[in-house]
Amino acid sequence: MVARIYQRKKKIFNYRLSRARRYIECTFGILANKWRIFHRPLNVNVDFAVDIVKSSCVLHNYVKQRDGNKFEDTFEGLPYSIIHSTQQVRPGGPMLTTIREEFANYFVSEEGKLDWQWNMI
């Protein structure tokens, strides 16, 4: 019984992680297509990279407000190979396991569950 509950929790975690990852990759793709700086690795320190991303988001929102929602050029020629970060993540380690377990517990808790998630696994 415990193993079965654990498997369901693991499947829910993987499903929710997969949805979040797809959403983030799509969002980053839109941002990168608008701001070409993201088509190559940023050779800057982490704090400056965070500032670049924040600035790009502000500029994106400004342009969207000024020009409206124009999506015709958003996905054109979108190179998904620009998403390099997924290849640099190293699995394992006690800290990553703890974080994963905390999210998995949250996703199946009363506070964090989504009613439809059980139908997706």
From the list 109, 99, 100, 94, the residue with the least C-alpha distance to 13 is: 100
Overall average pLDDT of the 17-41 stretch = 87
Residue type, 9: K
Q: CA neighbours within 13 Å on the CB side: how many for 5? A: 5
Q: What is the pLDDT of residues 36-61, one digit of tens each?
A: 888 888 899 999 999 998 998 888 88
**pLDDT tens digits, one per residue of 90-100:** 566 778 888 88
Q: Is the pLDDT of residue 77 over 60?
A: no
In this predicted structure, what is the pLDDT of residue 71? 54
Q: CA-to-CA distance for 29 and 35, rounded, in angstroms?
A: 10
Q: Where are the domains of the chain?
A: 2-120
Pair 113, 8: CB distance under 8 Å: no
63 confidence band (pLDDT: 50, 70, 90): confident
